[in-house]
Structure 1
Amino acid sequence: MTPETDPHQAPASVEELDAFLRAFEAGSLPKSRWTHEGHLVAGAHYVYLFGEARAMGHMRDRVRAYNQAIGGVNSATSGYHETLTRMWIGVLVRLLRASHGTSRLAFVQLAVERYGPRRDLHALLYDFDVVKDQRARAMWVEPTGGWPDLLDS
């Protein structure tokens, strides 16, 4: 299966990865492919290329633009979520540190393999419903439980 037939799969080749990213950045990626795993693909790619700070800014800008391109709204209750985005970028930065010398494609695949099934990871870090919290959607809220050791491996 490929990401086109199963949007929960990581790209199998650099060509698939680049095609996914081009479509995402152009706002032409079908909404059905903008899954949790799709977020991981884009985030892992940006972390790999740019490092944490620039990846965060890039992801913020691209997700907001994508949401608008597909007719979505970035508001206090829907669309882009600052805390979840920054949390996942932090998770991906830790994963990259632990995966010394891997290629961009291998890192993206590792991110999807490791964290695709863990879309609720935020529940380990926050003692409130961070997904629905309007303050957390608008601005970074530090994890209430810190970063568990399991994120560092």
Structure 2
Amino acid sequence: MPAPSEPVHAGATVDAERFARIAHGVRTRSLPKAEWTHGAHLVFAVSLIDEHGLAGAEAAAPPLIRAYNEATGGVNDDKNGYHETLTVFFLRRVARFIEATPDALAPELATMLLASPLARSDYPLSFYSKALLFSVEARRDWTPPDLKPMDADD
């Protein structure tokens, strides 16, 4: 695995090198686990959408995230690891964010995203009740929000 780098959190600046490090690190399962923060998840979402579009990102993300989790000692079960609803929710919200800023390059988009409400780890809770979001059903399969619709403004 590469030498550790400063983890990406809300408000961080993402240059091209940092962007590539995260995108490549998740794909090759070489990103140090301590760097797989919520911010890194968002950077990875931008990279997938930039490369594959939303539909392609929704198809590519599950196996990549599951494999990364397992490679770094994690498990993917009903309580830990890959969460389908959170993944799809963030991919769709990130795609919406990107559509509003069509001329920005991917690292610039990631930086702007990390300065947005989506960078808050509790962001989905304005759309989902805790009971629904943290249910086994939502972890396993895409589950629409129960508090406000996906296309609602922040």
| TM exceeding 0.5 | yes
The one-letter code sitting in structure 1 at the alignment partner of 2:5 is E
Gaps of 5+ in 1: none
Task: Report the more deviating stretch, 11-20 or 138-147.
Answer: 11-20
Find the aligned partners of 2:63 and 2:12 in 1 and give their Cα distance.
22
Q: Where does residue 149 of structure 1 map in the other structure?
A: 152
Task: Report the more deviating stretch, 104-113 or 8-17.
Answer: 8-17
Q: 1:112 to 1:127 in 2, by over 3 A?
A: same
Q: Does 2:14 align with 1:12?
A: yes
Q: How does 1:69-88 map to 2 (within 5 A)?
A: 69-88=71-90
* Aligned match for 1:123, one of 122, 125, 145: 125
Q: CA deviation at 1:81?
A: 0.1
Find the aligned partners of 2:137 and 2:45 in 1 and give their Cα distance.
22
Q: How does 1:18-97 map to 2 (within 5 A)?
A: 18-97=20-99
Give the TM-score normalised by structure 2: 0.87
CA contact (8 A) 1:11 1:17 kept: no
CA contact (8 A) 2:7 2:34 kept: no
Find the aligned partners of 2:118 and 2:152 in 1 and give their Cα distance.
19
Moved over 4 A (4+): none
CA contact (8 A) 1:68 1:74 kept: yes
CA contact (8 A) 1:36 1:116 kept: no
Find the aligned partners of 1:111 and 1:102 in 2 and give their Cα distance.
11
Find the aligned partners of 2:19 and 2:87 in 1 and give their Cα distance.
20
Give the TM-score normalised by structure 1: 0.87
Aligned pairs, number: 149
Q: Where does residue 137 of structure 1 map in the other structure?
A: 139
Q: CA deviation at 1:131?
A: 4.2
Find the aligned partners of 1:12 and 1:38 in 2 and give their Cα distance.
10
Find the aligned partners of 1:22 and 1:148 in 2 and give their Cα distance.
30
* Aligned match for 2:114, one of 98, 112, 115: 112
Find the aligned partners of 2:14 and 2:124 in 1 and give their Cα distance.
27
Q: 1:32 to 1:115 in 2, by over 3 A?
A: farther
Q: 1:128 to 1:140 in 2, by over 3 A?
A: same
Gaps of 5+ in 2: none
